[in-house]
Amino acid sequence: MENLIIQGSEGEFDVPSVHFNAETGICEISGESYLEKTAEFYDRLLNWIDQYINEVGKSITFNFKLTYFNTSSSKRILYIMLKLKEYINKGGEVTANWYYNKADIEMEEDIEDLSMIAKLDVNMIQDDSIKFDPFDKESTE
């Protein structure tokens, strides 16, 4: 099966970058998630995970590296976590990691809340290379 690669963008809306690898089972979503059509975007990701589970059926390492997501996106991120949990319940092997800047208290709370609803163990990893304020475009260039 093919990898899913989406190059993120900033501008009118902020599209996260996606690298889902069907050979290694390593899936990464990074950047900012603030989309015009949130459900449509995340459906592609959810469908890919479904296909991977059905056709490949190996382990998944899911690395969340989002620096910002709006409330509409948070609902879709929850659906990813629920899908990973469902895979675990069916015997799938899943490692979920969330990399975030330690200054981002709200992000830490969001990760806790989403993983709590999904009943998914998420390794919360503090990482200084993750931006605290993605809206501050100039200092990151």
Partner 1 sequence: MDQMTKFFRSGKFRLIDYHYPANYNVLVSYKGPFDKNVLNMLGENIREIIVPNSITGKKISKIFIELAKNIGSYSAERIILEKGTSGGIGSLVLVDSDNHYSFITGNLTMSTEIEPIVERCKLINSMDKNGLRKMKREQLKQGKYEREGADIGLIQLALTSENPLDYEIIQVDSTHSFFSLTVQINK
Interacting residue ranges for partner 1, rule: CB under 8 A: 11-13, 34, 36-39, 68, 70-72, 74-75, 78-79, 103-104, 106, 109, 113-114, 116-117, 132-133, 135-139
Q: How far is the CB of 136 from partner 1 (least distance, A)?
A: 4
Query: Taking a C-beta distance cutoff of 8 angstroms, is the pair 33, 51 a contact?
Result: no
What are 69's two structure tokens?
A: 């997501």
Q: What are phi and psi of 87, to 5 degrees?
A: -65, -40
Q: How far is the CB of 3 from partner 1 (least distance, A)?
A: 26
- Cβ-based nearer residue to partner 1, 17 or 72: 72
- Cβ-based nearer residue to partner 1, 5 or 39: 39
Q: How far is the CB of 103 from partner 1 (least distance, A)?
A: 7
CA angle 36/76/53 to nearest 5° reads 125
- Cβ-based nearer residue to partner 1, 15 or 25: 15
Residues 6+ apart with CB under 8 A from 22: 1, 2, 3, 52, 56
Q: At what angle do helices 71-89 and 105-118 cross, to 10 degrees?
A: 40
Q: How many CB atoms lie within 10 A of CB 45?
A: 21
Q: How far is the CB of 54 from partner 1 (least distance, A)?
A: 19
